Structure 1
Amino acid sequence: MLFFSALNPSAVARGLGVLALVCMGMSSVHAQDAGLEALRQEAQRWANEAVLKSQPPGVNLRMRAEVGALDSRLRLAPCGNIEPHLPAGARLWGRSRVGLRCVDGVTRWNITLPVVVSATGKAWVMRGHVAAGALVTESDVMEADVDWAEEPSPVLADRNQWVGQTAARLLSTGQTLRQGMVKPAQVFQAGASVRVLAQGAGFQVSSQAQALSAGVVGQPARVRMENGRVASGIVLDMRTVKIEL
Structure 2
Amino acid sequence: MRQSPLSSVLGYVSIPLRRWIYRLLAVSVAALAVLPFANASDTKHDVLMETVHQFLYQETQALGDEVVINLRPPSPHLSVCTNPDPFLTNQNETPLGRVSVGVRCGTDSQQVRYLQAEVDVIGSYMVAAVDIERGRQITPDMLGEKTGNLSDLSSRAITQADDIVGKVARQPIARGMTIQSHFIQAPLLVERGQRVKVIAEGDSFRVSREGEALNNGAMGEEVRVRFGSREVMSARVVERGTLMVDF
Of 129, 141, 145, which residue of structure 2 is paired with 1:127?
129
The answer on whether the counterparts of 1:55 and 1:63 sit within 8 Å (CA) in structure 2 is no
CA 1:226 to 1:60, structure 2 compared with 1: closer, same or farther past 3 Å? same
Q: Which runs of 4+ in 1 moved over 6 A?
A: 45-48, 88-92
Residue deviations 1:38-69, cap 9 Å, x none? Answer: 99xx99x969766533326xx3632332759x
The answer on whether the counterparts of 2:211 and 2:225 sit within 8 Å (CA) in structure 1 is yes
Displacement of 1:218 after TM fit?
A: 2.8
Are 1:64 and 2:81 counterparts? no
The answer on whether the counterparts of 1:51 and 1:63 sit within 8 Å (CA) in structure 2 is no
Amino acid at match of 1:65: V
> Comparing both structures, which one devotes a greater share of its residues to helix?
2
Of 96, 99, 104, which residue of structure 1 is paired with 2:98?
96
When normalised by structure 1's length, the TM-score is 0.53
Gaps of 5+ in 1: 1-22, 69-78, 100-111
Displacement of 1:233 after TM fit?
A: 0.5
| Secondary structure at 2:181 match in 1 | coil
| Secondary structure at 2:239 match in 1 | coil
Are 1:53 and 2:58 counterparts? yes
Displacement of 1:241 after TM fit?
A: 1.6
Residue deviations 1:200-243, cap 9 Å, x none? Answer: 22433343322233334332212234797432111233312222
Identity %, equivalent residues: 18
Of 187, 196, 200, which residue of structure 2 is paired with 1:194?
196
CA 1:154 to 1:236, structure 2 compared with 1: closer, same or farther past 3 Å? same
| Secondary structure at 1:139 match in 2 | helix
The answer on whether the counterparts of 1:51 and 1:92 sit within 8 Å (CA) in structure 2 is no
Larger Rg over CA atoms: 1
Q: Between Structure 1 and Structure 2, how many residues are aligned? A: 196
Correspondence for 1:106: none
CA 1:94 to 1:222, structure 2 compared with 1: closer, same or farther past 3 Å? closer
Are 1:185 and 2:197 counterparts? no
Correspondence for 1:211: 213
- The alignment yields a C-alpha RMSD, in angstroms, of 5.1
Are 1:174 and 2:176 counterparts? yes
CA 1:119 to 1:48, structure 2 compared with 1: closer, same or farther past 3 Å? farther
Amino acid at match of 1:148: L
| Secondary structure at 1:54 match in 2 | helix
Gaps of 5+ in 2: 1-21, 81-85, 102-114
Work out the CA distance in 2 between the residues paired with 1:202 and 1:158: 41
Amino acid at match of 1:128: V
CA 1:29 to 1:54, structure 2 compared with 1: closer, same or farther past 3 Å? same
